[in-house]
């Protein structure tokens, strides 16, 4: 603490061009005027001089230059800076620890494996495929699956559609049957409770249509109680809006093998287990059930999308047709379906587009070629790509992983500031992975089976799985550009490949200006009236989504910066239309709904990021108003502890639903948005950042909180690396924006 020496401050050092002149009572900073007040000197001041400038040669033989230093530091707000340095050190420590911890989890090939579980209807599908085909999993696997299924049972005996959801008929019947297939005794107390849940809630006949399908395969339900999928529809002319090639690819690829199974009414033979199960899951005597009457019965706990009147009418027709369908046409249809299934198997190395079709395709291939066929063996070999062991047991993942997606995100997160450069090995490995995951070829049967062009694209998981995704291409490209900018790796992704990725992004833009997931929207939205799944919404066509659009706009903006010459006009137009789409999607409260993660904070972050970066491409007033509204929305949702937290109910209800406790992932998204918007709510940002630091565990990880991914509004999915990626990104952005500039 410097002593109080008031008269020191009567002197002030003026400098200019290296000149240094002490001014007495400097009234101005003009060095030439330094004597202006020199005559204004009182007796009091003279006395103060001799007191304040008393000098002790014993203790301080050489002058320590205290007058200048004290003044210089005071004018630089030394105290404040001292405090900032300490805070910054805490931030740097947290970030370094976070990146160090996460880097340790990276594989040698550069990606981050992780838990991608959540939905509870996936493992049962696979178990049914293994049971029907008499291809049991090894004992240790079976044991771990049992552990998993029991771990997620609710105390009332039921299971949800996903691990955090309330019990439903679909969830409960599927897990019940799975556990029985895995050899658990029907008198096991937990199964008795589950059986009671099923019966108390109306019995298995009220399971939604996807459940009716699986039960029919097992001979636990009758095919004529399943609304016909009208397999012949696949032979319709392709130009018809209802032709399945126009459906969202996930619906298409699930309803394809389902149609094959229904066309053949695949049904396993009765055995003791099946006969017993028929008693365990129905209130009525199985043989006395009027199956046709069960077609539209859905337990109210399951119902998310009501059947439309149009669908009911259609079902009337297709169910009648089922009774008269000529055999020759069925055979022709089945041949086509099988050809398509084979093509999908070949295109994806038997991984298939997702976990549901993976299991059902296995059943079809087993049915068509038998258990000993090469094709079926190849299918079985890839079952294991979908299995994941975590502390809750063995589950089936929602995809064959989220490899590319996570790598792309973490790369951008780390490179947000120079701090990421302290991890060159991690960045380099990530880059190698991104390089090896870009899809560089198309299959021979590409066009025949309605695939979107994909040379230059990136997938969500792996190139081998081979389904390109618009925003994954955008994220792969953004990460590539970010790495190239640093110059710390030898770039192996050529300009040509970058341009191919740009072409893919451009090819994905919908008429409405937005970007979809895997393919352009190929039919009008009215097709949704034919959605036969009572548990999901908006699954019929591929829609434009805010977050997919924002990701693509951002990648194009980055391309404009780094490759300004490439397709300049076209890209500008695409960006402008994309930004307009995003603005149009904004809700009146300033937020955006997120379709692929929980929920409003997620999409709002994406949208704000695109709007901020897209400054030059859209009307300034419109843009500012939109960004300000978004920031107001986020500020309004900040919780008292400084964090943000939404529950998964935001997704299904489409209304922001506050969690009881704040969530680091939501907090990070909100902070990323507020910071990029250069919101003047510094205090709110600071409080959020403090929360992220405070929530960090000693080893640099963050605890896993509530489930953060979603699909089709109603089913949740785990993204285990989000809890690292996004806090690191938000902290890194804070560091970049606030680092002390020396
Ligand atoms: C995914 C995972 C990734 C996700 C993003 C890239 C995050 C998104 O921005 C676009 C859509 C996409 C690719 C997506 C679509 C739906 C998927 C494939 C999933 C959520 C993973 C699992 C889900 C799939 C439909 C699950 C299987 C269930 C069915 C109802 C068929």
Q: Tell me, using a 6 A CB cutoff, whether residue 277 lines ligand 1.
A: no
pLDDT at 61: 86
Whether 711 is in the pocket of ligand 1, judged by its Cβ within 6 Å, is yes
Show the 3-state SS of 427-457: HHHHHHHHHHHCCCCCCCCCCCCCCCCCCCC
Ligand 1 mean position, distance from CA 580 (Å): 25
Q: CA-to-CA distance for 122 and 210, rounded, in angstroms?
A: 11
In 3D space, the residue among 616, 740, 738 whose CA is nearest the CA of residue 678 turns out to be 738
What's the pLDDT tens digit per position in 382-420?
999 999 999 999 999 999 999 999 999 999 999 999 999
Q: 603 CB less than 6 Å from ligand 1?
A: no
Domain covering 122-393 assigned CATH 3.30.950.10 in the classification = no
Stretch 721-732: mean pLDDT, rounded?
98
From 595, 596, 719, give the residue whose CB has the most ligand 1 atoms within 8 Å, as the site to mutate.
Answer: 596
Q: Tell me which residue has its CA closest to atom 7 in ligand 1.
A: 596
Which of 290, 273, 293 is CA-nearest to residue 281?
Answer: 273
Nearest alpha carbon, ligand 1 atom 3: 460
Contact criterion met (CB below 8 Å) for 506 and 567: yes
Element (H, E) at 645: strand 644-646
Quick one: what percent of the chain has pLDDT higher than 90? 91
| Ligand 1 proximity of 363 Cβ (cutoff 6 Å) | no
Asked whether residue 373 carries a pLDDT value surpassing 60, the answer given is yes
C-alpha of residue 518 to centroid of ligand 1, in Å = 10
Q: Which atom of ligand 1 is nearest to the CA of 710?
A: 20
Q: Are 732 and 95 in contact (CB under 8 A)?
A: yes
Contact at 8 Å (CB) between 466 and 399? no
**Nearest ligand 1 atom to alpha carbon 533:** 30
Return the half-sphere exposure (C-beta side, CA atoms, 13 A cut-off) of residue 206.
18
Mutation probe of ligand 1 site: the residue of 250, 461, 515, 607 with most atoms within 8 A of C-beta: 250
Which of 194-203, 303-312, 714-723 has the weakest average pLDDT? 303-312
Exactly one of 115, 385, 406, 471 is catalytic; name it.
Answer: 471
Q: Assess whether the C-beta atom of 125 lies below 6 angstroms from ligand 1.
A: no
Bridge partners for 459 per DSSP: 468
- Nearest CA residue ID for atom 12, ligand 1: 517
Which ligand 1 atom sits closest to the C-alpha of 116? 21
Is the distance from the beta carbon of residue 722 to the nearest atom of ligand 1 less than 6 Å? no
Encoded tokens for 507: 């090819």
CA 461 – ligand 1 centroid, Å: 11
Question: Of 356, 711, 725, which is best to mutate to test ligand 1, by the most ligand atoms within 8 angstroms of its C-beta?
Answer: 711
Per-residue pLDDT tens digits for 321-336? 999 999 999 999 999 9
Q: Is 226 in the pocket of ligand 1 (CB under 6 A)?
A: no
- Ligand 1 centre to CA of 118 (Å) is 12
Q: How far does the centroid of ligand 1 lie from the alpha carbon of residue 419, in Å?
A: 32
Of the chain, the percentage scoring pLDDT greater than 70 comes to 99
Distance CA 569, CA 6 (A): 65
Averaged over 76-91, what is the pLDDT? 84
The average pLDDT across 721-738 equals 97
Q: Is the pLDDT of residue 122 over 80?
A: yes
| Contact in structure between 705 and 54 (CB atoms under 8 Å) | no
The torsion defined by the Cα of 597, 600, 601 and 607, in degrees rounded to 10, comes to: 100
Q: How far is the CA of 689 from the centre of ligand 1 (A)?
A: 30
Residue with tokens 């692929």: 596
The Cα–Cα gap between 271 and 571 comes to 62
Check pocket membership of 121 for ligand 1, CB cut-off 6 A.
Answer: no
Quick: pLDDT tens for 125-182: 999 999 999 999 999 999 999 999 999 999 999 999 999 999 999 999 999 999 999 9
Q: Whose CA is nearest to atom 11 of ligand 1?
A: 517
Q: Which residues contact 289 (CB under 8 A, 6 or more apart)?
A: 205, 222, 225, 282
Any atom of ligand 1 within 6 Å of the Cβ of 472: yes
The residue with greater pLDDT, 80 or 434, is 434
Q: Which two tokens stand for residue 438?
A: 């870009």
Q: Hey, which of 119, 469, 510, 550 would you mutate to test ligand 1's pocket, going by the most ligand atoms within 8 Å of its Cβ?
A: 469
Contact (CB, 8 A) for 610 and 550: yes
pLDDT for res 1: 47
> Which atom of ligand 1 is nearest the CA belonging to 250?
31
Q: Give whole-number Cα distances, 290 to 213, 223, 317, in Å.
A: 17, 12, 19
Q: Based on the residue annotation, tell me whether 93 is a catalytic residue of this protein.
A: no
Atom of ligand 1 nearest to the CA of 547: 9
Which tokens belong to 734? 């804070």
CA torsion 456-462-463-464 (nearest 10°) is: -170
CB of 355 closer than 8 Å to CB of 396: yes
Ligand 1 binding pocket includes 356 (Cβ within 6 Å): yes
Task: Report residue 213 as tokens.
Answer: 């399908």
CATH architecture of 403-741: Alpha/alpha barrel (1.50)
Using CA atoms, how far apart are residues 548 and 513, in angstroms rounded to an integer?
11
- pLDDT tens-digit readout, 530-561: 998 889 888 999 999 999 999 999 999 999 99
> Among 23-37, 426-440, 443-457, 506-520, whose mean pLDDT is lowest?
23-37
Mean pLDDT over all residues of the chain? 95
Query: How far, in Å, from the CA of 532 to the mean position of ligand 1?
Result: 19
- Integer Cα distance of 161 and 105 in angstroms: 30
517 pocket-lining for ligand 1 (C-beta < 6 Å): yes
Residue with structure tokens 């896993």?
704
The response to whether residue 358 sits with its C-beta less than 6 Å from ligand 1 reads no
> CA 729 to CA 735: how far, in whole Å?
10
Q: Which two tokens stand for residue 160?
A: 């949800």
Contacts of 209 (CB under 8 A, 6+ apart): 226, 227, 298, 532, 533, 534
Q: Is 255 in the pocket of ligand 1 (CB under 6 A)?
A: no
Question: Which of 161, 210, 354, 457 has the most ligand 1 atoms within 8 A of CB, as the residue to mutate?
Answer: 354
**Ligand 1 centroid, distance to 399 Cα (angstroms):** 8
Q: What is the pLDDT of residue 240?
A: 93
CA dist 141 to 123, 136, 148, 176, Å? 12, 10, 11, 17
Exposed (0-12), middle (13-18) or buried (19+): which is 690, by Cβ within 10 Å?
middle
Is the CB of 219 inside a 6 Å radius of any atom of ligand 1? no
Lowest mean pLDDT among 197-201, 356-360, 406-410, 521-525: 521-525
Q: Determine the distance separating the centroid of ligand 1 and the alpha carbon of 329, expressed in angstroms.
A: 34
Q: Is the CB of 250 under 6 A from ligand 1?
A: yes
Q: What is the pLDDT of residue 266?
A: 98
Q: Is it the case that residue 742 has pLDDT exceeding 80?
A: no
In the chain, residues under CATH classification 1.50.10.20 are 122-393, 403-741
Distances (CA, A) of 592 to 492, 553, 587, 678, 730: 37, 16, 6, 19, 19
Which residues share a beta bridge with 14?
Answer: 21
């Amino acid at each position: 603490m410097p002593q109080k020496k008031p008269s020191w401050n009567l002197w002030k050092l003026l400098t200019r061009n290296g000149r240094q002149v002490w001014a007495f009572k400097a009234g101005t900073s003009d060095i030439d005027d330094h004597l202006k007040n020199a005559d204004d000197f009182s007796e009091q001041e003279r006395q103060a001089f001799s007191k304040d400038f008393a000098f002790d040669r014993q203790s301080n033989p050489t002058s320590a230059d205290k007058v200048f230093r004290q003044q210089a530091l005071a004018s630089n707000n030394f105290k404040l800076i001292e405090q900032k340095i300490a805070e910054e050190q805490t931030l740097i420590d947290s970030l370094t620890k976070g990146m160090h911890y996460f880097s340790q989890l990276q594989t040698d090939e550069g990606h981050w494996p992780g838990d991608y579980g959540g939905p509870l209807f996936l493992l049962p599908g696979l178990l049914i495929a293994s049971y029907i085909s008499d291809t049991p999993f090894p004992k240790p696997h079976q044991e771990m699956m049992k552990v998993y299924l029991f771990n997620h049972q609710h105390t009332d005996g039921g299971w949800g559609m996903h691990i955090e959801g309330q019990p439903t008929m679909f969830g409960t019947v599927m897990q019940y049957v799975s556990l029985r297939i895995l050899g658990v005794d029907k008198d096991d107390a937990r199964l008795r409770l589950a059986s009671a849940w099923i019966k108390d809630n109306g019995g298995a006949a009220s399971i939604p249509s996807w459940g009716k399908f699986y039960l029919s395969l097992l001979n636990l339900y009758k095919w004529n109680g399943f609304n016909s999928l009208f397999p012949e529809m696949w032979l319709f002319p392709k130009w018809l809006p209802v032709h399945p090639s126009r459906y969202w690819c996930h619906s298409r690829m699930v309803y394809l093998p389902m149609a094959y199974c229904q066309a053949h009414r695949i049904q396993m033979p009765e055995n003791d287990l099946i006969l017993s199960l028929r008693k365990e899951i129905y209130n009525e005597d199985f043989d006395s059930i009027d199956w046709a009457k069960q077609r539209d019965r859905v337990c109210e706990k399951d119902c998310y999308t009501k059947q439309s009147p149009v669908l009911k009418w259609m079902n009337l027709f297709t169910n009648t047709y089922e009774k008269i369908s000529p055999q020759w046409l069925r055979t022709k249809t089945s041949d086509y379906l099988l050809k398509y299934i084979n093509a999908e198997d070949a295109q994806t190395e038997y991984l298939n587009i997702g976990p549901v079709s993976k299991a059902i395709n296995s059943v079809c291939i087993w049915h068509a070629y038998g258990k000993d066929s090469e094709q079926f063996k190849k299918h079985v070999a890839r079952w294991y790509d979908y299995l994941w062991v975590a502390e809750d047991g063995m589950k089936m993942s929602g995809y064959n992983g989220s490899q590319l997606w996570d790598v792309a995100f973490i790369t951008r997160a780390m490179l947000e500031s120079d701090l990421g450069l302290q991890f060159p090995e991690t960045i380099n490995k990530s880059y190698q992975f991104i390089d090896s995951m870009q899809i560089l070829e198309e299959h021979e049967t590409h066009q025949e089976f309605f695939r979107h062009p994909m040379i230059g694209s990136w997938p969500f998981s792996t190139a081998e799985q081979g389904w390109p995704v618009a925003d994954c291409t955008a994220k792969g490209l953004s990460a590539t550009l970010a790495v190239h900018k640093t110059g710390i790796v030898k770039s192996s992704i050529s300009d040509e490949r970058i341009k191919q990725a740009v072409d893919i992004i451009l090819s994905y833009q919908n008429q409405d200006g937005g970007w979809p997931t895997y393919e352009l929207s190929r039919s009008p939205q009215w097709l949704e009236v034919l959605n036969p799944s009572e548990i999901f919404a908006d699954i019929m066509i591929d829609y434009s989504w805010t977050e997919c659009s924002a990701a693509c706009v951002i990648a194009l903006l980055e391309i404009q910066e780094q490759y300004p010459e490439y397709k300049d006009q076209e890209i500008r137009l695409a960006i402008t239309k994309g930004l307009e789409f995003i603005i149009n999607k904004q809700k009146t409260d300033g937020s955006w709904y997120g379709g692929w993660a929980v929920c409003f904070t997620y999409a709002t972050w994406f949208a704000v990021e695109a709007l901020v970066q897209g400054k030059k491409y859209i009307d300034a007033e419109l843009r500012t108003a939109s960004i300000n509204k978004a920031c107001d929305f986020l500020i309004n949702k900040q919780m008292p502890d400084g964090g943000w937290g939404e529950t998964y109910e935001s997704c299904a209800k489409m209304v922001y639903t506050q969690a009881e406790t704040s969530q680091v992932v939501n907090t990070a998204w909100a902070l990323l948005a507020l910071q990029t918007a250069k919101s003047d709510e510094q205090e709110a940002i600071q409080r959020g950042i403090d929360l992220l630091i405070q929530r960090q565990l000693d080893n640099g990880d963050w605890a896993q909180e509530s489930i953060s991914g979603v699909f089709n509004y109603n089913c949740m999915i785990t993204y285990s690396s989000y809890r690292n990626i996004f806090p690191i990104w938000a902290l890194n952005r804070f560091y970049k924006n606030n680092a002390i500039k020396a």
